[in-house]
Chains A and B, each alone.
Chain A
Amino acid sequence: MIAHIKNGKIIALYGDPDHPVNKGALCSKAAASVQFEYDGNRLLYPLMRVGKRGEGRWRRISWDEALDYIAKKLKEIKEKYGPESIACHTGCECEEHVYLDRRFWDAAGWPNFFNGWGVCYAPQAVAQIYTFGVPLSEFTNAFDYWEKTNLFIIWDAKLPEGQPSYMGAVPRRILDGAKCIVIDPQLTPLATRATMWVQIRPNTDLALALAMINVIINEELYDKEFVEKWTTGFEKLKEHVSKYTPEWAEKITDVPAETIRTIAREYAQNKPSYICYGWCCHHTQYFQFARAYSILIALTGNVDIRGGHILGWPRSPMIDDGFLAFDPRLGLRDKRKIPEVAKEFPAVYEALKNFTALAHGLMKMLRQGKVKALFVDAMNMPLRTPTYNRFVKDIESVELLVVFDVYLGEVEGKIAKYADIVLPAKTFLERDCLSIQLWHKYGIIHVRQKVVDAPGECKSNFEFYTMLAKKMGLGEYFPWKNEEELFDWLLEPTGVKFERLKKEGYVQVGEPISEKTYEKEGFPTPSKKVELYSSILEKMGVDPLPTWHDELMLKQDEKYPYIHTSYTPARQHSWTNWKAVRDLEEVLEQDHAYIPERIALEKGIKTGDLVYVETKHGVATYKAVVKKYIHPETIIVSRGNPEQAKIIDILDPIDPISSFMAERGIPCNVRRVQ
């Protein structure tokens, strides 16, 4: 991004046309960052709560007073309840929120550290690990080779609209002649340009994937050479999916059997092809759906080839483990302890050795009253780990809630409102930041430079943790005098100095992603092959082949005759970030419920009417938008806003294997507000 500054203020902010990844393109959130910076409601000073939680009565305190209080309380709580009673939940996974928060928690010996992965992508990575031995790299890496891709399947993902810097390549490829199949309950903007739009009933993606596997095997459309040489369990899979015919799947998915055959044939016969599964297939059979599409990728030989899916991430001395937070140079991994909640979902823990993926576990502990101190950094839990309705009750037994954030609580559902101590954070425009971008065929390390001074007494994560570590007797783990020293230490293995990064903006490090890496040493699985049949999962008591479980379908009934599902309006916000930019919210239609024409007609609902959408968890109010091209029993609402957080619950229902919240496919009802 390029910022133009006049008299110490940003007057314009736009994409850098020379950047190797975005080439100048910005999403709406980035383009709106000036408003984010200058919103009048910035948190400027540390505050201590003086009224009841949520009442909004505060006393301004100094940083010193705040840190003394926090350090004293944390020590007391640790003594009284033990280290498991202290938890941290951070948001963004790619900046200092991870490596400094994580480092502090490890240094203190507190096991309960969670981040945004826990409500995002983890089940897919886990399923891919059991299949390929490592996660597939994301679209953010693969997009560099999409000029070779002949067919895209955009599966229940709004990424081309929400993350356009990368996924904008898909519609451009369509214009160049690539085929594109969009599988989605609603007609998305991309679907209007696609070769085929497949309208699917929410929560039935696994059935469709299983039927596609059936077709590809029965019609011998699979890559025979790859399957024979590089997979294990094919015969078991063939027998297993023989019952999952397109006719069987039609009854579950509402997708005609012949359409299922067409999708399967197109996918198998247009190699290289790419399935964009997005991060929004959160339903009760999420993990096994991810296993099923991983098997589709393997059967068609679309694994580790350019234009298809790539294994793993780019390698470099600094990002050897994929994420900076796991860099062994941080030196504290040996101190890391496994939280009790991780043991309840061994499939996730054993694959990742990373319990941050269990946001469900944190909420469960909260609800059981086991968390006594909670630190929240860049994470709006009432909305992101719902349910909002009972969040106040969930945190009743928390004796210390510290929130480090940019805003206080004017935005509905903002967690800072409920805190005991609120600490003012710098925005990304007010601090230097070393950012590791894995989102490319190379690893890219780039610097995001401070462009304006922070207002009031806002501080960076580095400043905050260095000060708190000293108060807590953990100063030895934060020895750097300033951020530049920290960055140089982090950069040491690459041979690049922070000063050079500031001048050049970014450097590429390590080797570029290559193809068919498995040919050297096989896949990093026990069999050295792609495990269509997973013996590891079998030992854990999990279906070793993806299996449809009808009992996990959430049944509609007279009270809740429709299906609630959500879409990620990532044009406006990333989860709950950027919600403070009200103009963006207003214009980009945040609080809308999409209602099929038939239901609207029956209920007398017109576009623009206020409607109640109700599930067993509560009632939300939305503005109705009557839609023609939407699954006829489905009510689609936007995600990550206070209203939706009233009608879903992170603990019910869940995917029983991964523990993930299943917010798609929940029975609901809708009525017009009288």
Chain B
Amino acid sequence: MATHVLVIDLWRCLGSGSCYAACQALGNNPPKIGLIKVGPYETSKGKPMINFLHYPVGACSESEYCMKMFAEKGMTPCVIDCPQKSITIIKLEDLPSFIKNRKSGEGFYMQIFK
């Protein structure tokens, strides 16, 4: 059971693909149905469909390196590389308040992995 979640703020994300590439370069299994597909691109109103995506840390990864780096530095390459700084790692239990407190967090979020 993951204790932390990785949250992608889709209002910031512009789909640079940096997080994806960083993840994949580590030999991980990046969330292919994540922000690349549903994030910043065309929707019925021309705005992101959802405000946040979040992934349990570890669910998108089988890499020891990632988990070790997270344990030591509190971040992973996908967090560091993101040009928009749209990725955050928080405790799982803090997720509901995190979402609620964000300026654009009035909508809903989608959980991709369980």
**Which residues of B have CB within 8 Å of A27?**
16-18, 83
Q: Is B21 interfacial (CB 8 A cutoff)?
A: yes
Tell me if A161 and B77 are in contact (CB < 8 A).
Answer: no
Which of B24-32, B50-58, B93-101, B105-113 forms part of the interface with chain A? B24-32
A199 to chain B, nearest CB (A): 11
Question: Does A587 contact B22, Cβ atoms closer than 8 Å?
Answer: no
By size class, the interface of chain B is 20 to 34
Cβ contact of A14, chosen from B16, B32, B39, B80, cutoff 8 A: B80
Q: Are B81 and A29 in contact (CB under 8 A)?
A: no
Instruction: Decide yes or no: A571 and B22 within 8 Å by CB, A11-B65, A14-B80, A627-B42 being known contacts.
Output: no
Q: Is A189 a contact of B40 with CB atoms below 8 Å? A: yes
Question: Known interface pairs A32-B25, A35-B25, A192-B40. Does A168 touch B17 (Cβ–Cβ under 8 Å)?
Answer: no
How far, in whole Å, are A34 and B23 apart by their CA atoms in the complex? 11
Q: Are B84 and A12 in contact (CB under 8 A)?
A: no
Query: Nearest chain-B residue to A37 (Cβ)?
Result: B25
Known: A28-B16, A172-B84. A14 touches B22 (CB 8 A): yes
**B32 contacts A192, C-beta separation under 8 Å:** no
B16 and A24 form a contact (CB under 8 A): no
In chain B, what residue has the closest Cβ to A626? B42
The answer for the CA separation of A32 and B25 in the assembled complex, in Å, is 6
Interface status of B14 (Cβ within 8 A of chain A): yes
Query: How many Cβ-Cβ contacts under 8 Å join chain A to chain B?
Result: 118
Q: What per-residue 1/0 map shows which CB atoms of A628-646 lie under 8 Å from chain B?
A: 1100000000000000000
Bound-complex Cα distance A185 to B95 (A): 38
Known: A27-B16, A171-B12, A189-B41. A587 touches B32 (CB 8 A): yes
The residues of B that contact A193 with a CB separation of less than 8 Å are 11, 14
Residue contact B46 to A26, C-beta cutoff 8 Å? no
Q: Which A residues touch B81, using CB under 8 A? A: 14-15, 24-26, 30-31
Verify if A501 is at the interface (C-beta below 8 Å from B).
no
On whether the beta carbons of A587 and B20 are closer than 8 Å, the reply is yes
B42 to A31, Cβ gap below 8 A? no
A14 to B69, alpha carbons, bound, how many Å?
12
CA distance A13 to B81 in the complex (A): 10
Q: A193's closest neighbor in chain B, by CB?
A: B11
- Give the shortest distance, in Å, between A80 (CB) and chain B (any CB): 48
Bound CA–CA A33/B83 (angstroms): 17
Contact B46 A629 (CB under 8 A): yes
- A4 contacts partner chain B, Cβ-Cβ < 8 Å: yes
Chain B residues near A11: list those with CB within 8 A: 26, 65
Interface extent on A, as a size class?
35 or more
A residues near B40, Cβ cutoff 8 Å:
189, 192
- Asked whether any CB of chain B lies closer than 8 Å to the CB of A5, the reply is no
Given A24-B81, A31-B81, check contact A168 B16 (CB 8 Å). Answer: yes
For the complex, give the distance between the alpha carbons of A12 and B48 in Å: 31
Residue of B nearest to A186 (CB): B42
- A164→B84 contact, CB < 8 A: yes
Residue of B nearest to A571 (CB): B17
Cα distance A11–B32 in the bound complex, in angstroms: 21
Give the residues in chain A near B12, CB-CB below 8 Å. 171-172, 175
A26 touches B22 (CB 8 A): yes
B67 within 8 A of A: no
If the complex has contacts A12-B65, A629-B46, are A584 and B80 also in contact, measured as CB distance less than 8 A? no
Distance A31 CA – B48 CA, assembled complex (angstroms) = 25
The reply to whether A572 and B14 contact each other, CB–CB distance below 8 Å, is: no
The listed residue (B65, B77, B84) touching A168 by CB distance below 8 A is B84
Instruction: Please name all residues of chain A whose beta carbon is closer than 8 Å to the beta carbon of B18 when the two chains form the complex.
Output: 25-28, 30-31, 164
Asked if A269 is at the interface of the complex by the 8 Å CB criterion, the answer is: no
Q: Are B11 and A31 in contact (CB under 8 A)?
A: no
CB of A674 to closest CB in B, whole Å:
27
Contact A31 B14 (CB under 8 A): no
Instruction: Evaluate whether A571 and B77 lie within 8 angstroms (CB atoms) in the complex, with A171-B84, A627-B42, A629-B46 already known.
Output: no
Nearest chain-A residue to B30 (Cβ)? A587
Collect the chain A residues with CB atoms within 8 Å of residue B38's CB.
none
- Given A161-B15, A164-B84, A192-B48, decide whether A628 and B21 contact each other with a Cβ distance below 8 A: no
A449 interface hit (Cβ, 8 Å): no
For B84, what are the chain A residues with a Cβ–Cβ distance below 8 Å?
164, 168, 171-172
Q: Contact flags (1/0) for A45-65 with B, using CB distance below 8 Å?
A: 000000000000000000000
Can you sample 29 A-B contacts with CB below 8 Å?
A11-B26, A13-B77, A14-B77, A14-B80, A15-B81, A26-B81, A27-B16, A27-B17, A27-B83, A28-B16, A31-B18, A34-B26, A35-B24, A161-B14, A161-B16, A164-B83, A168-B16, A171-B14, A172-B84, A172-B85, A175-B11, A187-B42, A191-B46, A193-B11, A197-B46, A584-B21, A584-B24, A587-B32, A627-B42
A interface residues with partner B (beta carbon < 8 Å): 4, 11-15, 17, 24-35, 160-161, 164-165, 168, 171-172, 175, 187, 189-193, 197, 571-572, 583-584, 587-588, 627-629
The 9 closest A-B pairs by CB, nearest first: A164-B83, A168-B83, A28-B17, A31-B21, A189-B40, A14-B77, A25-B83, A32-B21, A28-B21
A-B contacts besides A189-B14, A588-B20, 13 pairs, CB < 8 Å: A15-B80, A27-B16, A31-B19, A31-B21, A31-B81, A32-B21, A168-B14, A171-B84, A172-B84, A192-B46, A192-B47, A571-B15, A627-B42
B→A interface (CB under 8 Å):
11-12, 14-22, 24-26, 32, 36, 39-42, 46-48, 65, 69, 77, 80-85
